[in-house]
Amino acid sequence: MSTTEREIAKLFTSNSLRAIASGDVSPLEKIINNKNLRSNVNTTSIDDIYSSAFEFLSRNYRNEYVYKNLIARKILRSKHSLQSSVLLSEFRVGQNKADLVLLNGCSTCYEIKTEYDSLNRLEDQLQSYIQLFEKVYVVCPSSLQVDVEAIIPHSVGIIVLTDNNTLRTIKDAISNNIFDISLMMKSLRKEEYLDIAENIYGLKIDVPNTQVFDLCFKILNKSDRAVVNNLFLKTLKKYRKNNIEAINTLPSPLTNALISFKFNKNDIKNLISFFSEKELNVLSNFKRKT
């Protein structure tokens, strides 16, 4: 990774975006004031900086952010409704974290392996994911396709990110019949698995905190797996909603940032205000207002 690639990639980090939200526009000024960086980015407007920066990374440095953003744009925003679907980032599954999980009528996990990643942990990761999600895909560059094919279980699909940055399905995922209740509960927050158990039990669960997990497990483990799975989807969509307004308002290169990073309400409000100005002369004004 070159210095140019590293500096441009920093525009999409949580630190840079939080800085901008708080009125510190130095991440943008660094690009604008550096001749070498500026030569790779269109600095006509704020939107242009981010759009051209993302295009630059898509051509030269396809890191995890690029993969996630392309999946968010081409699968979540293009094929599904933001009103009925939720995309989660870094969802904990046992000892692993699934890169992206799409929830709509079913759950689909996307495990990303970029040109810069090792496949050493892939087998273990996939064994966890197929016990919780209905469909599991590995998303990788064409250079890793053969190696990925040699590792994946038969039910796991493959999506290749082509040199033209399109997502091409090489192998469709097969729906998994496994749904591990214990793994599900350990992947959820207490309020989430408690909500599921109370939905099935039909009554409010009122026991000491030390007994909540075991009681919920007993209730869910005796229940129909399809019913629990359906409630698993509904509960996650209830508690972990995407910010639809921000996704629809801010530039598309920031879609993954809005899904993957935890911004508070003021951060979102300030980012929307900042990007609504469009013009670069807003930089000094924004610093004064925030």
List % helix, strand, coil for the chain (3-state, nearest 5).
Answer: 55, 15, 30
Domain span(s) for CATH 3.40.1350.10 in the chain: 65-169
User: What percentage of the chain has pLDDT greater than the value 90?
Assistant: 86
250-276 pLDDT per residue, tens: 999 999 999 999 999 999 999 999 998
pLDDT at res. 78 = 81
pLDDT surpasses 50 at 288: no
pLDDT surpasses 60 at 285: no
19-56 pLDDT per residue, tens: 999 999 999 999 999 988 889 999 888 899 999 999 99
pLDDT at res. 43 = 84
Q: pLDDT grade, residue 233 (50/70/90)?
A: very high
Beta strands in the chain (DSSP E): 86-93, 96-103, 107-112, 135-141, 157-161, 167-171
pLDDT at res. 286 = 47
Cβ within 8 Å of residue 18, ≥6 positions away: 261, 263, 267
The hierarchical CATH code for the domain 65-169 is 3.40.1350.10
pLDDT surpasses 60 at 136: yes
pLDDT surpasses 60 at 203: yes
Structure-derived torsion over alpha carbons of residues 144, 146, 148, 150, reported in degrees to the nearest 10: -150
pLDDT at res. 277 = 79
